[in-house]
Structure 1
């Protein structure tokens, strides 16, 4: 057995973290469904709203953020576009590149759902006292 062997406490910590994460995700899924969105649709909207420096992203950027395959991301954007949540626009800088932009309806849904996540985020922040995370109101 190496000196780096995991201890019972390591397994307990990991188990507790995974449990808390799963609770957050289950609650998030329930909130999304109350607004008639799938969890992935909400995540797409959230990433557009939360993208640093802008409120749009390319398909590749969204696929990375979602940890999804490119073609799956395209299908997700298609569905969100049909729901009037996002729209594709050609880039001003490179007409070959397509940007995915959040529409007002998508932004409003994102904000409502994100607001409902705040109590659970505060709970996680207190539970794990994560360094570098700003204090939530």
Structure 2
């Protein structure tokens, strides 16, 4: 196993990292509150968003969603079930591989993710500016 060496940060580097972590946490909290106001959990919003995260198609598999959500497939199956019960998604059998389950947005799910993604856009811009400032100053 390879041991990584890390550059010790000076005070300014620690300040940049603190600023980034604070802004990231603010962004995540904003997302949690926005999702709650829209009647879904943050995790449900992320699942809806990730169904749209693959070029050339309007769905994601349970395995892909597990990877994007950084969780186990059985947890995603339960989350998909809750989203399905809320009318946000529907499952479909893949035409080419019947073992593969596709998760598609419903009209209600599409409206929800579009509204929340638009709200997140401006907030994400602020976070991106902090990341760019850290990168420009040489912070790693």
**TM-score with structure 2 length normalisation?**
0.85
The TM-score with structure 1 as length reference comes to 0.87
Give the drift of 1:51.
Answer: 2.3
Instruction: Name structure 2 gaps, 5 residues minimum.
Output: 134-140
Taking only aligned residues, the RMSD between alpha carbons, in angstroms, comes to 1.7
The alpha-carbon deviation at position 52 of structure 1 amounts to: 2.1
Say whether residues 1:126 and 2:129 are aligned partners: yes
Higher relative contact order (CA 8 A, sep 6+): 2
Say whether residues 1:96 and 2:99 are aligned partners. Answer: yes
**Runs of 4+ in structure 1 over 4 Å off:** none
Question: Which one of the candidate residues 2, 9, 13 is aligned to 2:12?
Answer: 9
Aligned partner of 1:23 among 22, 26, 35: 26
Gaps of 5+ in 1: 131-137
Q: In the alignment, what sits opposite 2:59?
A: 56
Number of residue pairs the alignment of both structures matches: 129
